[in-house]
Amino acid sequence: MTPEGISELISRVSLRDRAAFDVLYAATSAKLFGVCLRVLGNRTEAEDALQDIYVKIWNKAGRFAVADTSPISWLVAIARNHCIDILRSRKPAAVELDQAAAVSEPSPNPEQAAVASGEAQRIYDCLGRLEADRAAAVRGAYLNGDSYEVLASRHKVPLNTMRTWLRRSLIKLKECLEG
């Protein structure tokens, strides 16, 4: 479905159109479920989260009109933020740290990177200009919802160092993206 199609559906949903909600769900739930699975890493929690997310979408649809963003980005942001909130509230830091040590951050799928076009290509180009472990920290934070603690533990640096890394990386990234 086109972005225009999704936008139309969201504005219909804001008018309490349940058929539009059905179609919106059919068209977008697989993507948002993918977000939940990746961030939460647990099917049962992902299923519960997806329900909460669509309840939010139904209730917040009216605010999409004032959001200066593409419709799918808006939906993914709702899903990501919800899942990250769950992540931050459920896990005692110690458990998170145990897991952090075990997980290594996957590189971008080469095929994905190769077919990425336009804007997507640009962010990968810019991430590519960062040192590899710093680019991995940015991707890991965004895609998996990694906290500072998890990132610091995985990259074996103190928390403040991780924060500094990230800050520098983001400044460079921004210069590159906007330059």
Partner 1 sequence: MSPTEPDDNMIPEGDDFIAAEYVLGVIPQQERREVARRIETDKPFADLVARWQTQLDPLNDEYDAAQAPQHLKSRIDQRLFAIEVAASSSFWNNIAFWRGLAFAALAFAVIGIGRDLIERPARIREQLVASMETQGSSVRTLAIFDDQTKKLKVTVVSGDIPKDRSLELWLIAGNEAPVSLGLMVSPQVTEFNLSSPLLAKLRDGTTLALTLEPVGGAPGGAPTGPIVAAGVVRKI
Site for partner 1 in 79-98 (CB under 8 A): 80-81, 84-85, 88-89
Q: What DSSP assignment string belongs to 103-161? A: --PPPPPHHHHHH--HHHHHHHHHHHTS-HHHHHHHHHHHHH---HHHHHHHTT--HHH
Site for partner 1 in 159-178 (CB under 8 A): 164, 166-168, 170-171, 173-174, 177
| The only residue of 95, 98, 104, 112 in contact with partner 1, by rule CB under 8 A | 112
Site for partner 1 in 10-39 (CB under 8 A): 12, 17-20, 22-23, 25-31, 33-35, 37-38
The answer to the question of residue 120 lying near partner 1 (CB under 8 A) is yes
Q: How far apart are CA 40 and CA 52, in angstroms?
A: 14
The answer to the question of residue 139 lying near partner 1 (CB under 8 A) is yes
| The only residue of 41, 42, 45, 58 in contact with partner 1, by rule CB under 8 A | 58
Rounded to the nearest 5°, which phi and psi values hold at 105? -75, 120
Counting other chains too, the contacts that 134-138 makes at CB distance below 8 Å and 24 or more residues apart are 134/165, 134/166, 134/168, 134/169, 135/169, 136/105, 136/107, 137/105, 137/162, 137/165, 137/166, 137/169, 138/166, 138/169, 138/170, 138/173
| The only residue of 61, 135, 147, 153 in contact with partner 1, by rule CB under 8 A | 147
The answer to the question of residue 129 lying near partner 1 (CB under 8 A) is no
Q: Pick the closer one to partner 1 by CB: 97 or 143.
A: 143
The answer to the question of residue 55 lying near partner 1 (CB under 8 A) is yes
The answer to the question of residue 111 lying near partner 1 (CB under 8 A) is no
Supply 117's token pair. 């076009």
| The only residue of 6, 40, 100, 135 in contact with partner 1, by rule CB under 8 A | 6
